[in-house]
Structure 1
Amino acid sequence: MQLSRETPADWWEVEALYDLCFAPGREALSSYRLRDGVAPVADLCLLLRDTSGVAAAIRFWPVRVAGARVLLLGPIAVHPTHQSEGLGGWLIRESLDQARALGWARVLLVGDAPYYGRFGFERLDGVTMPPPTNPARVLGLALVPGAWDGVSGRVEKDHSTSAAT
C-alpha cells in the first residue's frame, strides 16, 4: 500500500469508491450540504493505493461551530476487497496526526461511537448538525486539550481555505 495525498486527478476514482461503499443518495445527507461549494482541506485528503487502484480514501472539510474552525471528517471509505485489513484506521490515525501538525484544534464527524471511540472521538453535546442527523452520532475529538470547551451551537459552512485555527 502506498499512502499519498489525493490530487485533482484522483477525484473521480475516489468518488467511484465512495459510490461503491455508500448507499445511493449519499450526497443527500446533511453533511454534504456543509461541503457544497467548499474546497476540502487538501493536505488532509489522503489515499491508500495498491496495484489495483485506490484501496481507501479519507477527506476533510472546514466547518465552523460558534465561529470556531473545525475539521469535518468524512467521507472515509475502504474498498470491499480490503475491508477488515485496518486501512480505515491507518487513514484516520495518519490524517489526525497531520491535522494536529498543521495546527487544527478540533475534529467533528457523524458516525458510530463504538468504531470512532477507539480513536478518541466522543459524543458532542451541544453541537448540532443540520437535520436530519441523529445527535447521538455527532462525535468530536480535541486535537489540543480543551479545544471543544465552550464550543457549542450549529455546524455551519466555512468558505475559507486557510490551514487551521
Structure 2
Amino acid sequence: MKYGAQTTVFKSIPGLENASFARLGGIHRNTFLNSPTMLDDQMRLRSQPNLRFAGQITGVEGYVESSAMGLLAGRMAATEILGGSISAPPNTTAMGALITHITGGADAKTFQPMNVNFGLFPLVEGLKGGRRGRKDRYKAYTDRAKLDWSAWLEASALDEA
C-alpha cells in the first residue's frame, strides 16, 4: 500500500484518528532468476556459458548462503580457467543441496528463493520420521554431509602449480 493509503487505514481505527506516524511500512521486493531454467550445475547461464551467477540473484536466501554460492561459483570458474573440471558438491551437503535446488531440483513454475534447510537434503534411509526422530535424523544428515563434503573437497582439489 502507498503511504497515503496506509495513513488512511490507520486513521480509520478508533483512537488513531489524530495519530502521526514516524514510519510507514515498505515492501521488500526480491528479484531473482528462474534459475532452474537458466543455470547449469556450474552456475553458468545455459544460453551464455561464459556468464556465471551467484548470490541472492540465483535464488538462495541469506547472507551465508549467498556468500557460499559466490565462493563456489568462483572456485568453479577458477578450475575451468585452469583447464580442469569440477563437479558440484554432492546434494547431501548444504552447498550441494542449494545448488540442486536452484539448478533443477525445484519446480521452475513455482521456484522461490530458499535458505538452506534439511528439507532440501535427500532422505537418510532407515530413520524414523516425525518429531521424535528429529534429533537422530538431523545428526545423520550432518554426519553424512561432513563425510561427503570431505570426499568432494579431496576429489576436487586445485593443483598448486
Question: Which has a greater percent of strand?
Answer: 1
Query: If the length of structure 1 is used for normalisation, what is the TM-score?
Result: 0.27
Q: Which has the larger radius of gyration?
A: 2
Considering Cα pairs closer than 8 Å and 6+ residues apart, tell me whether 1 or 2 has the greater RCO: 1
Structure with the higher fraction of residues in helix conformation: 2
Give TM-score scaled by structure 2 length: 0.27
